[in-house]
């Protein structure tokens, strides 16, 4: 049996190998149960979702504390035997030294990769200054290298999320993040396949993550564009919440329960979480 360090190295090696060729989907669970179900379906890696997790705590996105996020990463990483990438938001710090310190703590949770984004949370200046943004990625790289260099670093530029949908600026930032040490590049919510293709070309040969939050494309189409990794962000969590709200609304407003019949059968979902240690009933 591998010791914990060997096991983590094996996961990070597997995760890095997935980025070298082809295209894979890295769906986003929001807790241990959804992670186990996705791993059981055969997905080769998973990624956390900051929004999906925040909603489980009754909070909006980007309102989770560092300690809450770290504990969540520990729980999800420990629940599955596939690599887990952390949505580590902005590193829970502004200055590079703070980002480095927090990334070092995140690595200790058992994750195989993490992303650092450049959104500031300030509506008047929604992206961090370019030089500061690059320094933050460089700091994350330094923290990873200080702990063996195995964890995969994704650099995210959030212009299309925060109201600055400037493709040229996004590419400029992603290229700089690659030079600063990011292993993978990611610009969420690019508006068209042409924009995704432009990013893939601009940062090649570095792998690119594409976000799919609706039915605007397919795995095959993104593979043809050269995308290496596809995530769904809070998409699966929104689907789950949507079914919950529909069923609860029917009960509250009509006093009927027809939507409950659409739920997955109890034996099926309960059996998915059964283990060999469970007592026989």
> Do 137 and 269 fall into the same domain?
no
Smallest CA-to-CA distance from 47 within 25, 70, 18 is with 25
> Do 228 and 244 fall into the same domain?
no
Residue 281: its pLDDT value, please? 46
Answer with the one of 217, 233, 249 that is the final residue of a domain: 233
Percent of all residues in the chain with a pLDDT value above 90, rounded to a whole number: 94
**Alpha-helix residue ranges (DSSP H) falling in the chain:** 4-18, 32-40, 50-56, 66-79, 96-107, 130-146, 167-179, 193-203, 219-225, 235-254, 266-272
Residue 6: its pLDDT value, please? 80
pLDDT tens profile 70-88:
999 999 999 999 999 999 9
Neighbouring residues of 38: CB distance < 8 A, sequence distance ≥ 6: 27, 29, 46, 80
CATH number of the domain where residue 167 is located: 3.20.20.60
pLDDT tens profile 147-192:
999 999 999 999 999 999 999 999 999 999 999 999 999 999 998 9
Whether residue 280 is predicted with pLDDT greater than 60 in this model: the reply is no
Contact 47, 30 (CB under 8 A): no
Q: Which residue has the tokens 């929104």?
A: 238
> Do 88 and 147 fall into the same domain?
yes
> Do 143 and 256 fall into the same domain?
no
Residue 112: its pLDDT value, please? 98
Domain that holds residue 256: 235-281
How many domains does the chain contain in total?
Answer: 2
Beginning with the edge strand found earlier in the chain, give each strand of the sheet holding 184-186 in spatial order: 24-25, 229-231, 208-211, 184-186, 152-156, 113-117, 84-87, 46-47
Q: Write down the mean pLDDT value for the chain.
A: 96
Residue 5: its pLDDT value, please? 75
pLDDT level of residue 276 (50, 70, 90 thresholds):
low
Segment among 42-56, 116-130, 215-229, 262-276 with least mean pLDDT: 262-276
Residue 4: its pLDDT value, please? 73
Residue 8: its pLDDT value, please? 82
> Do 273 and 139 fall into the same domain?
no
């Amino acid at each position: 049996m591998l010791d914990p360090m060997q096991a983590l190295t094996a996961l990070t090696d597997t995760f890095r190998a997935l980025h070298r060729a082809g295209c894979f989907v890295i769906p986003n669970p929001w807790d241990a149960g959804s992670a186990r179900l996705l791993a059981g379906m055969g997905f080769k890696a998973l990624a956390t979702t900051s929004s999906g997790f925040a909603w489980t705590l009754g909070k909006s996105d980007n309102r989770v504390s560092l300690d809450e996020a770290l504990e969540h990463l520990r729980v999800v990483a420990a629940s599955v035997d596939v690599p887990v990438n952390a949505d580590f938001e902005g590193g829970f710090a502004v200055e590079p030294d703070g980002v480095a310190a927090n990334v070092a703590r995140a690595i200790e949770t058992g994750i195989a990769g993490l992303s650092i984004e450049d959104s500031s949370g300030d509506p008047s200046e929604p992206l961090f200054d370019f030089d500061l943004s690059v320094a933050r990625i460089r700091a994350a790289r330094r923290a990873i290298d200080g702990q063996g260099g195995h964890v995969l670093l994704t650099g995210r530029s959030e212009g299309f999320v925060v109201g600055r949908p400037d493709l040229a600026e996004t590419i400029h930032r992603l290229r700089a993040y690659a030079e600063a040490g990011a292993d993978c590049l990611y610009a969420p919510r690019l508006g068209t396949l042409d924009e995704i293709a432009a990013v893939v070309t601009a940062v090649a040969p570095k792998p690119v993550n594409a976000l799919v939050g609706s039915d605007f494309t397919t795995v095959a189409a993104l593979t043809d564009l050269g995308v290496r990794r596809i995530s769904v962000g809070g998409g699966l969590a929104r689907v789950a919440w949507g079914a919950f709200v529909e069923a609860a609304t029917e009960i509250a407003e009509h006093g009927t329960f027809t939507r409950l019949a659409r739920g997955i059968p109890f034996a099926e979902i309960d059996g998915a979480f059964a283990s060999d240690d469970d007592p026989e009933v």
